[in-house]
Protein backbone atom coordinates (compact mmCIF):
# COMPACT_ATOMS: atom_id res chain seq x y z
CA UNK A 1 0.00 0.00 0.00
CA UNK A 2 1.16 3.52 -0.80
CA UNK A 3 0.51 6.16 1.87
CA UNK A 4 -0.55 9.56 0.55
CA UNK A 5 -0.75 12.50 2.91
CA UNK A 6 -2.98 15.45 2.01
CA UNK A 7 -1.81 18.80 3.36
CA UNK A 8 -4.90 20.63 2.07
CA UNK A 9 -8.44 19.64 1.24
CA UNK A 10 -8.20 17.90 -2.14
CA UNK A 11 -11.20 17.54 -4.44
CA UNK A 12 -12.83 14.09 -4.11
CA UNK A 13 -12.50 13.62 -7.89
CA UNK A 14 -8.73 13.79 -7.44
CA UNK A 15 -8.72 11.35 -4.55
CA UNK A 16 -10.82 8.87 -6.54
CA UNK A 17 -7.91 8.61 -9.00
CA UNK A 18 -6.06 6.75 -6.22
CA UNK A 19 -7.35 3.18 -6.06
CA UNK A 20 -8.39 2.30 -2.48
CA UNK A 21 -6.90 -1.19 -2.79
CA UNK A 22 -3.44 0.30 -3.33
CA UNK A 23 -3.53 3.66 -1.55
CA UNK A 24 -4.39 4.98 1.88
CA UNK A 25 -5.05 8.70 1.70
CA UNK A 26 -5.55 11.03 4.66
CA UNK A 27 -4.17 14.11 6.35
CA UNK A 28 -2.66 12.01 9.13
CA UNK A 29 -0.51 9.49 7.22
CA UNK A 30 2.92 8.96 8.71
CA UNK A 31 6.12 8.17 6.80
CA UNK A 32 4.13 8.91 3.65
CA UNK A 33 5.22 7.89 0.13
CA UNK A 34 3.58 10.89 -1.48
CA UNK A 35 2.02 14.23 -0.63
CA UNK A 36 -0.87 16.03 -2.28
CA UNK A 37 -0.82 19.74 -1.55
CA UNK A 38 -2.44 22.94 -2.73
CA UNK A 39 -1.20 26.05 -0.92
CA UNK A 40 0.08 24.70 2.44
CA UNK A 41 3.52 26.10 3.23
CA UNK A 42 6.03 23.21 3.11
CA UNK A 43 9.21 25.28 3.39
CA UNK A 44 10.06 23.87 6.84
CA UNK A 45 8.54 20.43 6.22
CA UNK A 46 10.63 17.55 7.57
CA UNK A 47 10.73 14.87 4.87
CA UNK A 48 10.05 11.35 6.14
CA UNK A 49 12.33 8.60 4.78
CA UNK A 50 9.63 7.08 2.56
CA UNK A 51 8.69 10.35 0.80
CA UNK A 52 9.28 10.04 -2.95
CA UNK A 53 7.00 12.63 -4.52
CA UNK A 54 5.02 15.79 -3.83
CA UNK A 55 2.24 16.78 -6.20
CA UNK A 56 0.92 20.32 -6.13
CA UNK A 57 -2.64 20.70 -7.39
CA UNK A 58 -1.92 24.00 -9.15
CA UNK A 59 0.77 25.61 -11.25
CA UNK A 60 3.08 27.54 -8.88
CA UNK A 61 5.38 25.71 -6.47
CA UNK A 62 6.55 28.61 -4.27
CA UNK A 63 5.17 26.85 -1.19
CA UNK A 64 7.41 23.81 -1.78
CA UNK A 65 11.16 23.69 -0.99
CA UNK A 66 12.01 22.45 -4.50
CA UNK A 67 15.82 22.66 -4.14
CA UNK A 68 15.72 20.64 -0.90
CA UNK A 69 13.43 18.08 -2.59
CA UNK A 70 15.84 17.68 -5.50
CA UNK A 71 18.75 16.98 -3.17
CA UNK A 72 16.63 14.39 -1.33
CA UNK A 73 15.59 12.73 -4.61
CA UNK A 74 11.96 13.75 -4.17
CA UNK A 75 10.06 14.55 -7.38
CA UNK A 76 7.91 17.69 -7.29
CA UNK A 77 4.95 17.71 -9.67
CA UNK A 78 2.59 20.53 -10.63
CA UNK A 79 -0.46 20.67 -12.88
CA UNK A 80 0.18 23.10 -15.74
CA UNK A 81 -2.75 23.74 -18.01
CA UNK A 82 -5.32 22.19 -15.66
CA UNK A 83 -6.97 25.59 -15.32
CA UNK A 84 -6.54 26.61 -18.96
CA UNK A 85 -10.19 26.22 -19.89
CA UNK A 86 -11.27 28.34 -16.91
CA UNK A 87 -8.91 31.15 -17.94
CA UNK A 88 -9.90 30.82 -21.60
CA UNK A 89 -13.56 31.34 -20.72
CA UNK A 90 -12.70 34.38 -18.58
CA UNK A 91 -10.65 35.72 -21.51
CA UNK A 92 -13.74 35.55 -23.73
CA UNK A 93 -15.65 37.40 -21.01
CA UNK A 94 -12.82 39.97 -20.76
CA UNK A 95 -12.78 40.51 -24.53
CA UNK A 96 -16.49 41.24 -24.44
CA UNK A 97 -16.12 43.44 -21.36
CA UNK A 98 -13.34 45.37 -23.10
CA UNK A 99 -15.73 46.04 -25.96
CA UNK A 100 -19.27 46.30 -24.77
CA UNK A 101 -18.86 48.27 -21.52
CA UNK A 102 -20.92 45.73 -19.62
CA UNK A 103 -19.22 46.41 -16.27
CA UNK A 104 -19.56 50.19 -16.58
CA UNK A 105 -23.18 49.73 -17.70
CA UNK A 106 -24.16 47.61 -14.72
CA UNK A 107 -22.38 50.01 -12.35
CA UNK A 108 -24.40 52.85 -13.90
CA UNK A 109 -27.66 50.93 -13.31
CA UNK A 110 -26.69 50.24 -9.69
CA UNK A 111 -25.90 53.94 -9.21
CA UNK A 112 -29.23 55.00 -10.74
CA UNK A 113 -31.14 52.69 -8.45
CA UNK A 114 -29.07 53.64 -5.38
CA UNK A 115 -29.86 57.29 -6.19
CA UNK A 116 -33.60 56.53 -6.17
CA UNK A 117 -33.99 56.88 -9.95
CA UNK A 118 -36.53 55.06 -12.12
CA UNK A 119 -34.25 52.84 -14.20
CA UNK A 120 -36.91 51.98 -16.77
CA UNK A 121 -37.37 55.65 -17.49
CA UNK A 122 -33.67 56.38 -18.07
CA UNK A 123 -32.28 53.16 -19.53
CA UNK A 124 -32.90 53.85 -23.21
CA UNK A 125 -31.39 57.33 -23.06
CA UNK A 126 -28.59 56.37 -20.70
CA UNK A 127 -27.36 53.36 -22.65
CA UNK A 128 -25.86 55.47 -25.43
CA UNK A 129 -22.72 56.07 -23.35
CA UNK A 130 -22.02 52.32 -23.22
CA UNK A 131 -22.10 51.51 -26.94
CA UNK A 132 -19.12 49.36 -27.92
CA UNK A 133 -17.91 47.47 -31.00
CA UNK A 134 -18.43 43.82 -31.85
CA UNK A 135 -15.55 41.35 -31.89
CA UNK A 136 -16.45 39.80 -35.22
CA UNK A 137 -14.20 41.02 -38.00
CA UNK A 138 -11.65 42.57 -35.60
CA UNK A 139 -8.07 41.43 -35.10
CA UNK A 140 -6.78 39.85 -31.91
CA UNK A 141 -3.13 39.45 -30.91
CA UNK A 142 -2.37 36.62 -28.49
CA UNK A 143 1.01 36.95 -26.78
CA UNK A 144 2.09 33.55 -25.43
CA UNK A 145 0.68 30.45 -27.08
CA UNK A 146 0.85 28.02 -24.17
CA UNK A 147 -1.95 26.03 -22.54
CA UNK A 148 -4.16 29.11 -22.18
CA UNK A 149 -3.06 31.24 -25.14
CA UNK A 150 -3.74 28.53 -27.72
CA UNK A 151 -7.25 27.98 -26.39
CA UNK A 152 -7.97 31.71 -26.41
CA UNK A 153 -6.61 32.03 -29.95
CA UNK A 154 -8.68 29.07 -31.16
CA UNK A 155 -11.95 30.27 -29.66
CA UNK A 156 -11.40 33.80 -30.96
CA UNK A 157 -11.35 32.44 -34.52
CA UNK A 158 -14.81 31.02 -33.80
CA UNK A 159 -15.96 34.50 -32.74
CA UNK A 160 -15.03 35.68 -36.23
CA UNK A 161 -11.80 37.43 -35.23
CA UNK A 162 -8.60 37.47 -37.27
CA UNK A 163 -6.06 36.06 -34.84
CA UNK A 164 -2.31 36.66 -34.68
CA UNK A 165 -0.29 34.61 -32.20
CA UNK A 166 3.23 35.25 -30.94
CA UNK A 167 5.36 32.78 -29.02
CA UNK A 168 9.06 32.34 -29.78
CA UNK A 169 9.13 29.13 -27.73
CA UNK A 170 6.02 27.47 -29.16
CA UNK A 171 5.86 23.84 -27.99
CA UNK A 172 5.01 20.92 -30.25
CA UNK A 173 1.86 20.23 -28.22
CA UNK A 174 0.72 23.83 -28.59
CA UNK A 175 1.48 23.86 -32.32
CA UNK A 176 -0.53 20.67 -32.80
CA UNK A 177 -3.56 22.01 -30.95
CA UNK A 178 -3.51 25.44 -32.63
CA UNK A 179 -6.09 26.25 -35.32
CA UNK A 180 -4.69 26.65 -38.83
CA UNK A 181 -6.57 29.96 -39.01
CA UNK A 182 -4.13 31.58 -36.59
CA UNK A 183 -1.44 33.76 -38.17
CA UNK A 184 1.86 33.09 -36.48
CA UNK A 185 3.60 36.43 -35.81
CA UNK A 186 7.38 36.30 -35.81
CA UNK A 187 7.74 39.38 -33.62
CA UNK A 188 5.75 41.49 -31.20
CA UNK A 189 5.72 44.43 -33.58
CA UNK A 190 3.46 42.45 -35.92
CA UNK A 191 1.00 41.98 -33.06
CA UNK A 192 1.20 45.60 -31.97
CA UNK A 193 0.77 47.04 -35.46
CA UNK A 194 -2.08 44.79 -36.60
CA UNK A 195 -4.31 44.13 -33.65
CA UNK A 196 -7.44 45.83 -32.35
CA UNK A 197 -7.32 43.65 -29.24
CA UNK A 198 -4.28 42.23 -27.47
CA UNK A 199 -4.36 39.53 -24.80
CA UNK A 200 -1.31 38.39 -22.82
CA UNK A 201 -0.73 34.80 -21.71
CA UNK A 202 2.96 34.60 -20.80
CA UNK A 203 4.60 33.89 -17.44
CA UNK A 204 6.01 36.86 -15.57
CA UNK A 205 9.79 36.67 -15.55
CA UNK A 206 12.85 38.85 -16.15
CA UNK A 207 12.14 39.01 -19.90
CA UNK A 208 8.40 39.65 -19.74
CA UNK A 209 8.05 41.91 -16.68
CA UNK A 210 6.82 45.31 -17.85
CA UNK A 211 6.66 44.20 -21.50
CA UNK A 212 3.54 46.29 -22.09
CA UNK A 213 5.13 49.68 -21.56
CA UNK A 214 5.15 53.07 -23.22
CA UNK A 215 7.36 51.84 -26.11
CA UNK A 216 5.12 48.85 -26.80
CA UNK A 217 1.94 50.92 -26.57
CA UNK A 218 3.47 53.47 -28.94
CA UNK A 219 3.62 50.76 -31.65
CA UNK A 220 0.00 49.70 -31.12
CA UNK A 221 -3.04 50.80 -33.09
CA UNK A 222 -4.98 53.77 -31.71
CA UNK A 223 -7.95 52.54 -29.67
CA UNK A 224 -6.42 49.14 -28.94
CA UNK A 225 -8.08 47.13 -26.17
CA UNK A 226 -5.77 45.17 -23.87
CA UNK A 227 -6.58 42.11 -21.77
CA UNK A 228 -4.24 40.90 -19.04
CA UNK A 229 -5.27 37.78 -17.18
CA UNK A 230 -1.66 36.55 -16.85
CA UNK A 231 0.15 38.65 -14.22
CA UNK A 232 -0.18 42.29 -13.15
CA UNK A 233 3.52 43.08 -13.50
CA UNK A 234 3.54 42.37 -17.25
CA UNK A 235 1.94 45.78 -17.77
CA UNK A 236 3.53 49.03 -16.56
CA UNK A 237 0.67 50.66 -14.68
CA UNK A 238 1.74 54.30 -15.16
CA UNK A 239 2.20 53.75 -18.90
CA UNK A 240 -1.16 52.09 -19.47
CA UNK A 241 -2.98 54.62 -17.31
CA UNK A 242 -1.46 57.47 -19.33
CA UNK A 243 -2.34 55.75 -22.62
CA UNK A 244 -5.93 55.18 -21.42
CA UNK A 245 -6.19 58.81 -20.41
CA UNK A 246 -5.20 60.07 -23.86
CA UNK A 247 -7.36 57.45 -25.64
CA UNK A 248 -4.50 55.58 -27.31
CA UNK A 249 -5.69 52.52 -25.38
CA UNK A 250 -9.49 52.29 -25.38
CA UNK A 251 -9.86 49.72 -22.62
CA UNK A 252 -7.82 47.66 -20.19
CA UNK A 253 -9.27 44.57 -18.54
CA UNK A 254 -7.17 42.77 -15.96
CA UNK A 255 -7.48 40.00 -13.39
CA UNK A 256 -4.95 41.82 -11.15
CA UNK A 257 -6.66 44.78 -9.50
CA UNK A 258 -4.77 47.57 -7.75
CA UNK A 259 -5.96 50.79 -6.16
CA UNK A 260 -3.97 52.80 -8.68
CA UNK A 261 -5.62 51.06 -11.64
CA UNK A 262 -9.08 51.52 -10.16
CA UNK A 263 -8.75 55.25 -10.71
CA UNK A 264 -7.98 54.77 -14.42
CA UNK A 265 -10.22 55.57 -17.34
CA UNK A 266 -11.90 52.58 -19.04
CA UNK A 267 -10.26 50.08 -16.73
CA UNK A 268 -12.16 46.93 -15.76
CA UNK A 269 -10.81 45.11 -12.73
CA UNK A 270 -11.61 41.45 -12.08
CA UNK A 271 -10.80 40.00 -8.61
CA UNK A 272 -8.33 37.32 -9.82
CA UNK A 273 -11.04 34.94 -10.99
CA UNK A 274 -9.05 33.32 -13.82
CA UNK A 275 -8.83 29.84 -12.33
CA UNK A 276 -11.71 30.18 -9.87
CA UNK A 277 -14.05 27.48 -11.09
CA UNK A 278 -14.95 24.20 -9.39
CA UNK A 279 -13.93 22.38 -12.57
CA UNK A 280 -10.47 23.92 -12.52
CA UNK A 281 -9.87 22.85 -8.92
CA UNK A 282 -11.07 19.36 -9.80
CA UNK A 283 -8.87 19.15 -12.92
CA UNK A 284 -5.82 20.16 -10.86
CA UNK A 285 -6.58 17.52 -8.21
CA UNK A 286 -7.14 14.75 -10.77
CA UNK A 287 -3.98 15.64 -12.67
CA UNK A 288 -1.88 15.82 -9.47
CA UNK A 289 -3.17 12.43 -8.27
CA UNK A 290 -2.54 10.83 -11.68
CA UNK A 291 1.02 12.18 -11.80
CA UNK A 292 1.70 10.86 -8.30
CA UNK A 293 0.24 7.45 -9.16
CA UNK A 294 2.19 7.05 -12.40
CA UNK A 295 5.40 7.89 -10.59
CA UNK A 296 4.82 5.67 -7.57
CA UNK A 297 3.62 2.69 -9.62
CA UNK A 298 5.69 3.00 -12.81
CA UNK A 299 8.43 5.53 -12.11
CA UNK A 300 7.15 7.71 -14.95
CA UNK A 301 7.60 11.47 -14.61
CA UNK A 302 5.40 14.05 -16.31
CA UNK A 303 5.02 17.70 -15.30
CA UNK A 304 7.77 17.84 -12.73
CA UNK A 305 9.42 21.13 -11.86
CA UNK A 306 12.69 19.56 -10.69
CA UNK A 307 13.13 16.47 -12.88
CA UNK A 308 12.78 15.78 -16.60
CA UNK A 309 9.71 14.34 -18.27
CA UNK A 310 10.41 10.65 -18.78
CA UNK A 311 7.90 7.93 -19.53
CA UNK A 312 8.79 4.42 -20.59
CA UNK A 313 6.60 1.44 -21.45
CA UNK A 314 7.41 -1.57 -19.24
CA UNK A 315 9.60 -4.00 -21.10
CA UNK A 316 11.21 -6.16 -18.43
CA UNK A 317 10.25 -7.89 -15.21
CA UNK A 318 11.68 -5.20 -12.98
CA UNK A 319 12.59 -1.54 -13.17
CA UNK A 320 15.20 0.62 -11.55
CA UNK A 321 14.36 4.30 -11.19
CA UNK A 322 17.48 6.31 -10.49
CA UNK A 323 17.52 10.02 -9.68
CA UNK A 324 21.05 11.33 -9.90
CA UNK A 325 23.18 14.36 -10.55
CA UNK A 326 23.65 15.36 -14.17
CA UNK A 327 27.36 14.47 -14.27
CA UNK A 328 29.55 12.30 -16.53
CA UNK A 329 29.73 8.52 -16.30
CA UNK A 330 26.48 7.97 -14.41
CA UNK A 331 25.03 5.65 -17.06
CA UNK A 332 28.17 3.55 -17.34
CA UNK A 333 28.34 3.27 -13.53
CA UNK A 334 24.70 2.10 -13.34
CA UNK A 335 24.95 -0.38 -16.22
CA UNK A 336 28.38 -1.46 -14.90
CA UNK A 337 26.77 -2.69 -11.66
CA UNK A 338 24.15 -4.59 -13.66
CA UNK A 339 26.59 -6.19 -16.08
CA UNK A 340 28.85 -7.28 -13.20
CA UNK A 341 25.83 -9.11 -11.79
CA UNK A 342 24.99 -10.54 -15.23
CA UNK A 343 21.64 -8.67 -15.37
CA UNK A 344 20.35 -7.93 -18.87
CA UNK A 345 19.14 -4.38 -19.61
CA UNK A 346 15.92 -4.58 -21.66
CA UNK A 347 15.44 -0.86 -22.07
CA UNK A 348 17.06 2.27 -20.70
CA UNK A 349 16.05 5.91 -20.93
CA UNK A 350 17.94 8.83 -19.48
CA UNK A 351 17.07 12.51 -19.45
CA UNK A 352 18.39 15.53 -17.64
CA UNK A 353 16.97 18.77 -16.35
CA UNK A 354 19.52 21.31 -15.18
CA UNK A 355 21.68 19.85 -12.43
CA UNK A 356 19.64 16.66 -12.11
CA UNK A 357 18.93 13.65 -14.28
CA UNK A 358 16.73 10.60 -14.23
CA UNK A 359 17.41 7.13 -15.56
CA UNK A 360 14.85 4.35 -15.97
CA UNK A 361 16.30 0.88 -16.51
CA UNK A 362 14.06 -2.07 -17.34
CA UNK A 363 15.83 -5.32 -16.56
CA UNK A 364 15.11 -8.88 -17.64
CA UNK A 365 15.37 -10.47 -14.21
CA UNK A 366 14.74 -9.50 -10.63
CA UNK A 367 17.66 -8.32 -8.55
CA UNK A 368 18.38 -8.40 -4.83
CA UNK A 369 18.98 -5.57 -2.36
CA UNK A 370 22.72 -6.05 -2.97
CA UNK A 371 22.51 -4.77 -6.58
CA UNK A 372 20.11 -1.98 -5.66
CA UNK A 373 22.38 -0.89 -2.82
CA UNK A 374 25.40 -0.99 -5.15
CA UNK A 375 23.64 1.49 -7.47
CA UNK A 376 22.62 3.58 -4.46
CA UNK A 377 26.28 3.76 -3.44
CA UNK A 378 27.42 5.28 -6.77
CA UNK A 379 28.63 8.87 -6.21
CA UNK A 380 26.04 11.34 -7.52
CA UNK A 381 23.05 9.01 -7.08
CA UNK A 382 20.34 10.69 -5.01
CA UNK A 383 17.56 8.10 -4.95
CA UNK A 384 17.01 4.59 -6.29
CA UNK A 385 13.66 2.85 -6.48
CA UNK A 386 13.20 -0.77 -7.44
CA UNK A 387 9.80 -1.68 -8.96
CA UNK A 388 8.57 -5.07 -10.08
CA UNK A 389 5.89 -5.70 -12.66
Ligand X SMILES: NC(=O)c1ccc[n+]([C@@H]2O[C@H](COP(=O)([O-])OP(=O)(O)OC[C@H]3O[C@@H](n4cnc5c(N)ncnc54)[C@H](O)[C@@H]3O)[C@@H](O)[C@H]2O)c1
- Name the site residues for ligand X (rule: CB under 6 A): 80-81, 83-84, 87, 143-149, 166-169, 171, 174, 201-204, 207-208, 229-231, 255, 272, 274-275
State the minimum distance, in angstroms, from the CB of residue 298 to ligand X. Answer: 25
Please work out, in degrees rounded to the nearest 5, the angle formed at the alpha carbon of residue 324 by the alpha carbons of 62 and 380.
Answer: 115
161: nearest Cα among 192, 140, 185: 140
State the minimum distance, in angstroms, from the CB of residue 19 to ligand X. Answer: 29
Closest CB to ligand X among residues 145, 330 = 145
212: nearest Cα among 234, 195, 196, 193: 234
Closest CB to ligand X among residues 18, 229 = 229
State the minimum distance, in angstroms, from the CB of residue 270 to ligand X. Answer: 8
Closest CB to ligand X among residues 36, 147 = 147
Q: What are phi and psi of 218, to 5 degrees?
A: -55, -35
State the minimum distance, in angstroms, from the CB of residue 12 to ligand X. Answer: 23
Closest CB to ligand X among residues 145, 381 = 145
State the minimum distance, in angstroms, from the CB of residue 287 to ligand X. Answer: 12
State the minimum distance, in angstroms, from the CB of residue 205 to ligand X. Answer: 7
State the minimum distance, in angstroms, from the CB of residue 214 to ligand X. Answer: 18
Closest CB to ligand X among residues 167, 362 = 167
For ligand X, the nearest residue by Cβ is 146
Closest CB to ligand X among residues 232, 380 = 232
Closest CB to ligand X among residues 171, 339 = 171
Closest CB to ligand X among residues 152, 367 = 152
Helix (H), strand (E), coil (C) string for the chain: CEEEEECCCCCHHHHCCCCCCCEEEECCCCCCCEEEECCCCCCCCCCCCCCCEEEECCCCCCCCCHHHHHHCCCEEECCCCCCHHHHHHHHHHHHHHHHHCHHHHHHHHHHHHHCCCCHHHHHHHHHHHHCCCCCCCCEEEEECCCHHHHHHHHHHHHCCCEEEEECCCCCHHHHHHCCCCCEECCCHHHHHHHCCEEEECCCCCCCCCCCECHHHHHHCCCCEEEEECCCHHHECHHHHHHHHHCCCEEEEEECCCCHHHHCCCCEEECCCCCCCCHHHHHHHHHHHHHHHHHHHHHCCECCECCCCCECCCCCCCEEEEEEEECCCCHHHHHHHHHHHCCCCEEEEEEEEECCEEEEEEEECCCCCHHHHHHHHCCCCEEEEEEEEC
State the minimum distance, in angstroms, from the CB of residue 58 to ligand X. Answer: 9
d(CA 150, CA 202): 11
State the minimum distance, in angstroms, from the CB of residue 151 to ligand X. Answer: 8
Closest CB to ligand X among residues 144, 316 = 144
Amino acid sequence: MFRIKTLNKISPAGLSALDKTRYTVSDSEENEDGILVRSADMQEYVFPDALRAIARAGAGTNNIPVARCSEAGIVVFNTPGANANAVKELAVCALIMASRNVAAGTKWIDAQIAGGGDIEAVVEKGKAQFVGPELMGKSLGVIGLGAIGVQVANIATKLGMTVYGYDPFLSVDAALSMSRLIHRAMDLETIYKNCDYITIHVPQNKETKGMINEDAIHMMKGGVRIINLARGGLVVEDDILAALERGKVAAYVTDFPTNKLSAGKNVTLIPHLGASTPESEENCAVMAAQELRDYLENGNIRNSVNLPTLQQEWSGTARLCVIHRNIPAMLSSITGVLSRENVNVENLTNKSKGEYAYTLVDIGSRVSDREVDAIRAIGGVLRVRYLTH
